[in-house]
Amino acid sequence: MKLTANKRMALVAIAVLAFDQLTKLLVLNYLGYDQERVMIQGFFKFVHWVNTGAAWSLFRDNNDLLAIVSLGALLVLFLSRRHFESGKLSGQLALGLLFGGIMGNLVDRLHPDRRHVIDFIYFYVNQRDGGQIGFPAFNIADSAICIGVGLLFILSWQSDPSRRSDPQSSIQPG
């Protein structure tokens, strides 16, 4: 069976969605709400935090609106995928990561028992005064979205025609 571009994107998306939901299920089963498990003291821990907003808890308590935005983003990305290097394997990977990540958080937002995103990966540094400075908690879906967007930026930068220059045109008459 030959894998088409759409099938490759779908496989990546399904793998991301499955891994995201599996890890969130583990968090639900092994960490109570607001509980933490330090893995590397002063650097990394698993947490069980909820997020009704977007990245960094922006737009907090707007779960329904963010679910609609997510559905719209999925539709727009799918319909415009040919503009995002979907003919290349790297473009298919990027779009698959985006689709899977968006769907992973969307499942959380639409889940009737939760209606929020579960974040559980937390990197931090202990301060001398006992406090912590940390990066906002995130999950597998968030990671997939960030990696997918990063890959798309790299691909668009590499394919930018203005970056290509004719070596002869840079020679100045002397």
* Tens-place pLDDT, residues 10-48: 999 999 999 999 999 999 999 998 899 999 999 999 999
For 113-138, the pLDDT digits (tens) are 888 899 999 999 998 888 889 989 99
CB-based contact 132:44 (threshold 8 Å):
no
Please report which confidence band the pLDDT of residue 161 belongs to, taking 50, 70 and 90 as the band edges: low
Please report which confidence band the pLDDT of residue 73 belongs to, taking 50, 70 and 90 as the band edges: very high
Amino acid 58: pLDDT: 67
pLDDT exceeds 70 at position 169: no
Q: CA 18: distance to chain centroid? A: 14
Geometric angle at alpha carbon 93, from 89 and 97, rounded to 5°: 170
Summary mean pLDDT of the chain? 88
pLDDT exceeds 60 at position 172: no
Amino acid 106: pLDDT: 96
Catalytic residue among 61, 64, 108, 142: 142
Amino acid 168: pLDDT: 52
pTM (two decimals): 0.84
Please report which confidence band the pLDDT of residue 74 belongs to, taking 50, 70 and 90 as the band edges: very high
Q: Is 61 a catalytic residue?
A: no
Q: Single out the residue of 121, 117, 116 nearest to residue 136, CA to CA.
A: 121
Domain extent listing, the chain: 5-155
CB atoms within 10 A of CB 142: 21
Catalytic residue among 119, 129, 160, 166: 119
Q: Is 119 a catalytic residue?
A: yes
